[in-house]
Amino acid sequence: MKDKNAHDELYINAPHGIVIHRDFKVLYVDDNYAQLFGFEKKEDMLKIGSLLELIDPSEWDRSTRTYQAVMSGEKPPTVHSSRNLNKNKQEINVLVVDHVIEWQGQPAMQVTIVDLSQQVKAQKQIRDSERRYRELVDGSIQGILVHQNFTPLFANNSLREMFGLPLSAKLSEVGDMMGYIDPQHWKEIGEKHQQLMAGEQKQIKSEYKVTHVDGSSIWVNLLSSICFWEGKPAALATVVDMTEQKRLQQALEYKANHDGLTGLLNRNSMSEILESAVQTAKDETSDLCCILADIDEFKKINDCYGHHAGDKVLKIFSQRCSDSLLKQGSVGRWGGEEFIFLMQQVDQIEGVFIAERLRRLIASEPIVVGDISISVSASFGIALLNSPQQTAEDLVANADRALYKAKRKGRNCTMLFNEEDQHSLTI
């Protein structure tokens, strides 16, 4: 950004355009920019080898050094004049506004050009030029924010709309921008801002959850660098709304970690939780209880009532498991009609109590599918981590052995694994 007083010295009423490039290779150009340099269509300009062809050779070295310094973060984006050449090699004088953006996942330079070739002296044309420049910035699909310690100095229309701020509101009415960021990010963003302003970081890029004025939450991507505003250092942030991308990412993560039918955690997720829980129990020398549950004679349910009824039984069984466990641990679908429960700091007595409570609940309440009432029961096998040498696989295998004993015992019962296998606990 440039001192506003400097703009007051320019008497401008000129066309303007935008080009986005990387190493002077054109990535995007609008019609105004192309026509300014004598091209009939922007597509023609996309064919040139380098933007340096449109710059006076005497300016090549300075232009290259400025580009490298801005892209590397050594210098903030600048506003400067330049001598350029149109395609007919006619010289034109332009005002160049540089801005670093992200284009297709990589940094690129966005250049706004204002033609100064036809300068006039009227104050009206100064205001017209400033209005045009503001329209360019406000027309950006990205939010642009300039702030000093999160006190806003400039915000374009895209940013105001993103946050739900009235377009007519004065920045003094907006307040501290930190107030719009979710408190969970305050420490991180504060530390990164200090590093940026201290010169420890040339550029910072982060994702933050922001509270919209209407109370809803949005996710934004911030790319911040240092600029100068009225002669003082400030932070220049490019803000991109990535709420939809975040929702898609969360949806994909949920789908990857949860069973599609029951909504419970799937086997892969439970395996990761199991490994972590075993390690925690060993580190803290605490109890860890694993329960395997299997719906009794589930195949007969499918055979008698159809797979639709079987699916309904699985869903309701899963819901009852989740409701019964509450926040005592994790529950997931281990496979088919088999389910797994993991509970940290739960000993043998409490584990048996939890399994029995759920077993009785399942057996006492038939599952209704349409006009059919289906009596359902389940068998439970319990194992506890009782040795530093035990692995996650050992724990599940022991619970599976206890479950097998419950099945052999006649189903609809709870069995506790006993290493010596001298007795089994039947409730």
Q: Is residue 129 part of a domain?
A: no
Amino acid at 337: E
pLDDT(5) > 60: no
Q: Is residue 426 part of a domain?
A: no
Q: Beta strand 91-103 with 79-85: parallel, antiparallel or unpaired?
A: antiparallel
CATH number at 12 reads: 3.30.450.20
Q: Is residue 252 part of a domain?
A: no
Q: Beta strand 414-416 with 378-384: parallel, antiparallel or unpaired?
A: parallel
Q: Does 328 share its domain with 230?
A: no
Q: Does 226 share its domain with 291?
A: no
Q: Is residue 202 part of a domain?
A: yes
Position 249 confidence tier, pLDDT thresholds 50, 70, 90: confident
Q: Does 157 share its domain with 92?
A: no
SS3 207: strand
For range 316-324, the mean pLDDT: 91
pLDDT of residue 287: 93
Strand arrangement, sheet containing 338-344: 330-335, 338-344, 288-295, 378-384, 414-416
Rg (C-alpha) for the chain, rounded Å, is: 33
Candidates 347, 327, 345; CA nearest to 281 is 345
Q: Is residue 133 part of a domain?
A: no
Candidates 237, 163, 165; CA nearest to 197 is 237
For range 195-211, the mean pLDDT: 90
Q: Is residue 427 part of a domain?
A: no
Between residues 93 and 215, the one the model is more confident about: 215
Q: Does 271 share its domain with 398?
A: yes
Boundaries of domain holding 10: 4-122
pLDDT tens digits along 40-59: 888 888 888 898 888 888 88
pLDDT tens digits along 163-183: 888 877 788 777 889 889 999
Q: Does 198 share its domain with 301?
A: no
